[in-house]
C-alpha cells in the first residue's frame, strides 16, 4: 500500500489523459512554432531550478482564465532531496464552474502570451516510449512502425510456405524487409555458440567497467545472473517498486487476455544481453522504469535519472553511498514540441549534463521513425553541422546519439532516425540477444505430431524458453555501442579521477564514433 505522504509512480497514462498535440488545431502564440508530441493533458511540470511558489501563481492565473484550477502534487519522498527534478501541477475544473476539459498546452501557451519569461522552467509532461511517435497516440497503437499489429492475425502459419515463392520481395512490404512478427522482427532463435566468457573477480586485474540501463528491467536468464537489479540511492529504490507489474517476469499484461506476448516484454533483458555480449566482464546495473504498456510519465523518468545522477555525484565526492557508472544506456525518447524555443525545457539536459560532467558517458537510441526530426534526449548531443538546441560545454562529455545499421554493418536500417544529431551507428537490425526463458506466448506450432516415439512440430513463433531472440531497433544499437565502449575502457587502463576518466571516455568515442573532443 502507498501512503498519502508517498505518491505512487504515475505509470502509464490512461487514454483519456494522454493527448496528441496537433499544431494545426492547438492553441497558437505568435513567435512559437510547435511540432507534434504526446503529453499529459492535465499536468504541467515545474523545474526545481525555478521559484516554485512564484511559478505556481503564474500557472494559476493562466488556468483561471479557462475556468480551471491548478494544484501542486506532493513530491515523492525519494525526490525531495535531489538536486534535480520537477514538481507536478495538476489541472482541473474550478468548483462551481462548467468548462472544457483542462489542457496543459493551452495553459502553457497562455503563459507564453502574457510573458515568455514566466514560462521558464515550466513544461508539458511528455509521454515517453522506447519507440517515439509523431503521427498518432501510441497508446492506441501497440506497434510503432505504422504496421498492422501482427498479433491480429490468429495464426501466422496461415501464410503460404515462403519456399514456394521464388522471391519474397515480390509482395509489397511496408516493413522494408524486416520480419512482420513483432516490432522489427522479435522472434525466437537458437543460439548455439558459447556463453560470453566472463572472468571471475579473482582473475580481474582492477575494476570492472559499469554499464547502467534504465528500461523495462532485466528478467531471469542464465547469462545474466550477475546483473544488479537492486542498486538503490540510500534507502530509496530507483524506478518502479516491487509491487508494480514487471514486463520481464510476466510477458502478457496488456490488451485482451489472449496470451499474446506484450510488445515491449523482454526489452530490458534483450538490452542487457547485448551489453554482456559486447563486454562480458562489465558489471550491469538494471533499473525498471518502462511499464508493460510502454508509455512512461516524464516525471517518473526524470526522477529516476536524477537519482542515478546523484549516485555518480556522491561517488565523485568520495561518499560510500555513491556508485561509479562508466556508461548509461538509454533506449527511450520523445519528440519535443518546441526544441528551438529559447526557453527549451532545462531539467532533463541538466541531469544528463551533470552525469557527463562527472565522467559518465550517456548513450541514447536515435529512434525508429525514419525521420530527421530530433528525438530527445539523443538530440542533446553535439550536431555535426554545429547547430542544435544546446550549446556544447567543452568540460562536459557529449551525449551520444546512436542510429541502427543493418546486419551487414554498412547500411543504415530503413527505420532508423537520421540527421546531423545522429553521431554514431551500430548494428541494430536483426540482432540476437537474451530473452527471459519463462516467455511462452499464446501462439502454438502450426503442425505437431508424433512419429517413431518423438514429437515433431513446426516452429512455435513465440516460445522463448530457449532464451534467445532476434529483434530490431535503435533501442538495441545504443546498448551494443555502450558495451563496446565499456570493453574499450577495460582494455585501456583503469578508472581514475574525474579528469582521467573523461580523457579515457573521449578516447573511446574517438575510436568508436565520429565524435571528436573540442579543440
Q: Are strands 210-215 and 283-288 parallel, antiparallel or unpaired?
A: parallel
In b/e form, how buried is each residue of 252-264, taking b as 16+ CB within 10 angstroms? bebeeeeebbbbb
Q: One of 215, 300, 462, 501 is an active-site residue; which one?
A: 215
Q: Are 59 and 111 in contact (CB under 8 A)?
A: yes
Place of cell 548531443: 381
Active-site pick, 145, 151, 221, 267: 267
Active site residue 281: no
Catalytic residue among 247, 276, 475, 501: 475
Catalytic site includes residue 151: no
Burial class (CB in 10 A: 0-12, 13-18, 19+), 283: buried
C-alpha cell at position 486: 565499456
Residue 114 CB coordination number (10 Å): 15
Can you give the three-state secondary structure of 388-415, one letter per residue? CCCCCCCCCCCCEEEEEECCCCCCECCC
- Annotation says 267 is catalytic: yes
Helix then strand then coil, % of the chain, to nearest 5: 25, 20, 55
Based on the number of CB atoms within 10 Å of its own CB, is 228 exposed (0-12), middle (13-18) or buried (19 or more)? middle
Phi, psi of 364 (to 5 degrees): -125, 140
Residues carrying an active site annotation: 215, 267, 475
Amino acid at each position: 500500500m502507498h501512503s498519502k505522504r508517498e505518491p505512487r509512480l504515475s505509470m502509464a497514462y490512461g487514454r483519456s489523459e494522454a493527448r496528441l498535440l496537433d499544431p494545426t488545431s492547438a492553441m497558437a502564440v505568435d513567435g512559437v512554432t510547435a511540432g507534434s508530441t504526446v503529453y499529459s493533458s492535465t499536468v504541467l511540470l515545474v523545474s526545481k531550478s525555478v521559484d516554485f511558489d512564484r511559478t505556481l501563481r503564474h500557472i494559476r492565473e493562466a488556468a483561471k482564465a479557462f475556468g480551471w484550477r491548478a494544484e501542486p502534487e506532493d513530491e515523492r519522498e525519494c525526490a525531495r532531496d535531489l538536486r534535480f527534478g520537477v514538481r507536478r501541477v495538476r489541472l482541473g475544473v474550478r468548483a462551481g464552474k462548467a468548462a472544457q476539459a483542462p489542457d496543459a498546452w493551452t495553459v502553457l501557451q497562455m503563459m507564453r502570451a502574457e510573458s515568455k519569461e514566466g514560462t521558464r522552467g515550466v513544461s508539458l509532461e511528455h509521454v515517453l516510449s522506447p519507440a517515439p511517435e509523431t503521427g498518432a497516440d501510441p497508446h492506441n497503437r501497440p506497434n510503432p512502425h505504422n504496421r498492422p499489429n501482427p498479433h491480429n492475425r490468429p495464426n501466422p502459419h496461415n501464410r503460404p510456405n515462403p519456399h514456394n515463392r521464388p522471391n519474397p520481395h515480390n509482395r509489397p512490404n511496408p516493413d522494408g524487409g524486416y520480419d512482420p512478427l513483432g516490432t522489427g522482427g522479435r522472434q525466437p532463435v537458437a543460439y548455439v555458440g558459447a556463453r560470453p566468457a566472463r572472468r571471475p573477480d579473482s582473475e580481474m586485474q582492477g575494476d570492472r567497467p559499469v554499464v547502467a540501463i534504465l528500461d523495462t528491467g532485466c528478467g531471469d536468464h542464465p547469462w545474466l545472473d550477475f546483473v544488479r537489479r537492486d542498486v538503490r540511492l540510500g534507502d530509496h529504490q530507483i524506478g518502479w517498486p516491487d509491487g508494480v507489474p514487471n514486463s520481464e517476469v510476466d510477458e502478457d499484461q496488456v490488451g485482451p487476455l489472449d496470451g499474446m506476448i506484450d510488445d515491449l516484454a523482454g526489452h530490458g533483458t534483450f538490452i542487457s544481453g547485448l551489453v554482456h555480449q559486447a563486454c562480458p566482464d562489465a558489471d550491469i546495473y538494471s533499473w525498471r522504469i518502462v511499464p508493460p504498456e510502454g508509455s512512461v510519465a516524464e516525471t517518473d523518468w526524470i526522477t529516476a535519472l536524477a537519482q542515478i545522477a546523484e549516485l555518480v555525484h556522491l561517488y565523485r565526492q568520495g561518499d560510500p553511498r555513491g556508485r561509479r557508472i562508466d556508461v548509461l544506456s538509454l533506449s527511450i525518447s520523445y519528440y519535443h514540441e518546441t526544441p528551438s524555443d529559447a526557453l527549451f525545457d532545462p531539467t532533463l539536459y541538466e541531469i544528463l549534463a551533470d552525469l557527463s560532467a562527472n565522467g559518465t558517458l550517456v548513450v541514447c537510441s536515435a529512434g525508429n521513425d525514419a525521420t530527421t526530426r530530433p528525438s530527445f534526449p539523443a538530440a542533446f548531443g553535439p550536431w555535426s553541422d554545429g547547430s542544435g538546441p544546446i550549446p556544447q560545454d567543452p568540460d562536459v562529455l557529449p551525449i551520444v546519439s546512436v542510429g541502427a545499421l543493418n546486419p551487414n554493418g554498412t547500411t543504415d536500417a530503413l527505420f532508423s532516425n537520421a540527421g546531423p544529431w545522429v553521431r554514431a551507428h551500430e548494428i541494430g537490425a536483426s540482432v540476437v540477444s537474451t530473452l527471459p526463458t519463462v516467455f511462452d506466448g499464446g501462439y502454438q506450432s502450426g503442425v505437431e505430431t508424433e512419429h517413431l516415439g518423438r514429437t515433431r512440430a513446426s516452429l512455435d513463433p513465440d516460445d522463448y524458453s530457449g532464451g534467445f531472440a532476434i529483434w530490431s531497433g535503435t533501442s538495441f544499437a545504443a546498448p551494443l555501442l555502450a558495451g563496446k565502449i565499456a570493453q574499450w575502457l577495460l582494455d585501456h587502463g583503469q578508472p581514475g579521477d574525474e579528469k582521467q576518466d573523461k580523457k579515457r571516455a573521449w578516447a573511446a568515442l574517438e575510436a568508436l564514433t565520429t565524435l571528436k573532443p573540442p579543440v
